[in-house]
Amino acid sequence: MAEMVHAPLVTYVSMLSLLTLCPPFVVLLWYTMVHADGSVLQTANYLRENGLQGFLHIWPNPTSIAWKIIAFYAAFEAALQLFLPGKRVEGPISPTGNRPVYKANGLLAYVVTLVTYLGLWWFGIFNPVIVYDHLGEIFSALIFGSFIFCIFLYIKGHVAPSSTDSGSSGNIIIDFYWGMELYPRIGKNFDIKVFTNCRFGMMSWAVLAVTYCIKQYETYGSIADSMLVNTTLMLVYITKFFLWEAGYWNTMDIAHDRAGFYICWGCLVWVPSIYTSPGMYLVNHPVNLGVQLSLYILVAGILCIYVNYDCDRQRQEFRKTNGRCLVWGKAPSKIVASYATTSGETKTSLLLTSGWWGLSRHFHYVPEILAAFFWTVPALFNHFLPYFYVLFLTILLFDRAKRDDDRCKSKYGKYWKLYCEKVPYRIIPGLY
Ligand code: NDP
């Protein structure tokens, strides 16, 4: 049963507005970055003068070349996910007692994808500039295609769920929006959320980051240092993601959020369009920062990505070793928290209360947001739109921290209360 973490009215209003506003927003953002110099004002003036007709005019058609690019990419990633070798990894035990099994081949898939993409360009087989030049059409196709895919997930959840971790809330909009299945699969091995979230979504972020670089290179004959800093930081972040992909399979996205519009449409459309948007802006704004400033931003960004990685690593190592590890050179302090599964069984989990997890309950979101700021700041401050992702991420993570706290409170009860007493701040130590 999908839980409502906010008041019902807030939930309905936010669901319906996300369902109706996100698709046009993706198109407007792309249009502003690529055709309106990144200026929100310019787009707003255009819309004021031309109204709805003008908006419909800029909405690109999902052309056959766009569908072909998406189909090739999706098929390639699906094949890598299915056929590349990888260690067998078990996910966390689900609320109904299932333990999903995965093949950890994400890093290899990431390397193969980037090498193949750069190879196709280098040997003149496929020019990534084609992707940039059809970006609007690709986003348009993704908007419609992913919507249909979410309808498929909804129907599958009703008629052919892959496991007992599935169910209906009794409300069609909630089922469609939050999803029905926790671990939908095609056959035994093809995990749909690994595909949508990791191999399509996160991978497309890297592919598009490289595409933007190549487009700038082919347009201007060189790559500005601002673009290099942006692309390097984004690639470091995505490399970290794939290095740690099996860890990601233990997080809220996979272990708690069901496969519906919120997660899947988000990963299939929002990640390629919004997450990559600072790079999309830089293509036509080749700012030169100079070596010193570039290095400062690069080092600050890498540091943030490292701290974010270390927070996740610390929690996972602590859980994997059952608390028998060192945290910042000392034995960890912890709470042994028991909880009941939906089948009434009592289980225990360990909550780490030292290291990063002793600073605040979601400290890892701080370096996550700062890293995004550092890969955006090469765009300097002429326009607000490149910073939209940082703003969006901040809202997303503050909301997520609340959702996670509420979920943990209902899961662990008095033990979570104890954790909150020991570690009183939710995200920013001393402030919030
Ligand atoms: P996690 O799932 O990693 O952590 C939350 C879970 O960890 C809780 O639900 C709880 O699960 C467990 N937990 C909570 N406190 C403790 C503790 N003190 N000790 C041990 N376990 C604890 O969080 P996220 O999925 O939000 O984040 C994972 C990563 O993904 C982060 O690096 C984050 O920054 C990144 N991220 C990036 C986003 C983006 O769009 N760029 C969006 C969201 C996340 P349990 O039920 O097992 O106890």
Residue 6: the pLDDT is 57
Contacts of 140 (CB under 8 A, 6+ apart): 27, 59, 60, 61, 62, 66
Query: Residue 344's CB: how many other CB atoms inside 10 A?
Result: 6
Residue with CA closest to ligand 1 atom 33: 365
Percent of the chain residues topping a pLDDT of 70: 98
Residue 432: the pLDDT is 87
Identify the three-state secondary structure at position 258: coil
Please state the φ and ψ torsions of residue 99, each to the nearest 5 degrees: -125, 105
SS3 for 311-334, per residue?
A: HHHHHHHHHHCCCCCCECCECCCE
Residue type, 325: C
Rounded CA separation 79/428 (Å): 42
Residue type, 364: H
Atom of ligand 1 nearest to the CA of 372: 41
- Ligand 1 pocket test target in 339, 408, 416 with most atoms within 8 Å of CB: 408
Residue 204: the pLDDT is 98
Give the model confidence (pLDDT) of 250-288 as tens digits.
888 898 889 999 899 999 999 999 999 999 999 999 989
Verify whether ligand 1 is closer than 6 Å to residue 404 (CB atom): yes
Atom of ligand 1 nearest to the CA of 411: 46
Q: Rounded mean pLDDT of 31-59?
A: 95
Structure tokens at 296: 């400062």
State in Å: Cα 174 to ligand 1 middle: 23
Adjacent-strand bridge partners of 334: 352
Q: What are the C-alpha distances in Å from 91 to residues 102, 256, 277, 315?
A: 7, 12, 32, 15
- Ligand 1 pocket test target in 404, 419, 425, 428 with most atoms within 8 Å of CB: 404
Residue 2: the pLDDT is 44
Verify whether ligand 1 is closer than 6 Å to residue 401 (CB atom): no
Residue 202 · residue 241 · CB < 8 Å = yes
Residue 308 · residue 362 · CB < 8 Å = no
- Block residue for tokens 């010193």: 292
| Buried-exposed string 389-420: b where 16+ CB fall within 10 A, e elsewhere | bbeebbebbbebbebbbeebeebbeebbeebe
Verify whether ligand 1 is closer than 6 Å to residue 257 (CB atom): no
State in Å: Cα 248 to ligand 1 middle: 9
Q: Please indicate, yes or no, whether the overall pTM of this predicted structure exceeds 0.85.
A: yes
Structure tokens at 19: 């369902």
* Mean pLDDT for the chain overall: 93
Residue 110 · residue 248 · CB < 8 Å = no
Structure tokens at 309: 């990685």
Q: What are the C-alpha distances in Å from 425 to residues 10, 125, 308?
A: 25, 53, 17
Verify whether ligand 1 is closer than 6 Å to residue 352 (CB atom): yes
State in Å: Cα 251 to ligand 1 middle: 5
Which one-letter DSSP state was computed for residue 2?
P
Query: Residue 176's CB: how many other CB atoms inside 10 A?
Result: 21
Q: Rounded mean pLDDT of 87-103?
A: 89
Q: Rounded mean pLDDT of 167-177?
A: 88
Residue 55: the pLDDT is 94
Q: What are the C-alpha distances in Å from 80 to residues 53, 106, 107?
A: 42, 9, 11
Residue 329 · residue 394 · CB < 8 Å = no
Inter-helix orientation angle 225-243/203-220, to 10°: 160
Residue 1: the pLDDT is 40
Verify whether ligand 1 is closer than 6 Å to residue 312 (CB atom): yes
- Block residue for tokens 């255009």: 46
Give the model confidence (pLDDT) of 120-163 as tens digits.
999 999 999 999 999 999 999 999 999 999 999 999 999 999 98
Rounded CA separation 142/73 (Å): 12
Rg over alpha carbons for the chain, rounded to the nearest Å, is 22
Structure tokens at 254: 């996979």
* CB-count exposure of residue 38 (10 Å: 0-12, 13-18, 19+): buried
Rounded CA separation 426/92 (Å): 24
